[in-house]
Amino acid sequence: MGKPSHQRRLADTEAQAVAKSLRISPQKLNLVAGLIRGKKVEQALAELEFSEKRIAGDVRKCVMSAVANAENNHSLDVNDLVVAEAYVGKNMVLKRFHARGRGRGAAILKPFSQLTVVVRQVEEEKTEKKAAKKPAAGKAQAKSKEAK
């Protein structure tokens, strides 16, 4: 007689992972999350591995967790996964005080963030069509340059 199960918010071809209480400001974390949005999982993991940002390791763990969820819980093909969404939210803020001159104090805020990564399975045909269109556009530009 437990609670009724809720509807799944994501599509059948999607899986997500959430990393909570990351000790970094949301603004800085969003810079790293922006590096991986819309990229294939292999490329996103490679970029995070060689990134010089301190938080890149934690973001990489979250992406790997989303891939594991996709593979084990939803039976998706790992080779076709793309980082569909990577969004950042605020979490708690530690408030500390630093003694200043003349009996005053200055607030020091130590923000925490959370990261949600959603991976989506994309068929090979769509990615092949996009790849086929890109060189064709490059050839048209090259022809127009030759004409000039």
Q: Is 107 in contact with 143 (CB distance < 8 Å)? A: no
H helices of the chain, in order, are 26-36, 41-49, 56-74, 124-147
Half-sphere CA count of 115, side-chain side, radius 13 A: 31
The count of other CB atoms within 10 Å of the CB of residue 51 is 17
Each residue of 8-38: pLDDT tens digit? 899 999 999 999 999 999 999 999 999 999 9
pLDDT computed for residue 88 by the predictor: 98
Q: Which amino acid is located at 92 in the chain?
A: M
Q: Which of 70, 65, 93, 97 is nearest to 81 (CA)?
A: 70
92-144 pLDDT per residue, tens: 999 999 999 999 999 999 999 999 999 999 987 655 666 666 555 555 565 55
Q: Domain ranges in the chain? A: 14-122
CB 11 within 8 A of CB 84: no
CATH dotted code for 14-122: 3.90.470.10
> Element (H or E) spanning 110, and its range?
strand 105-121
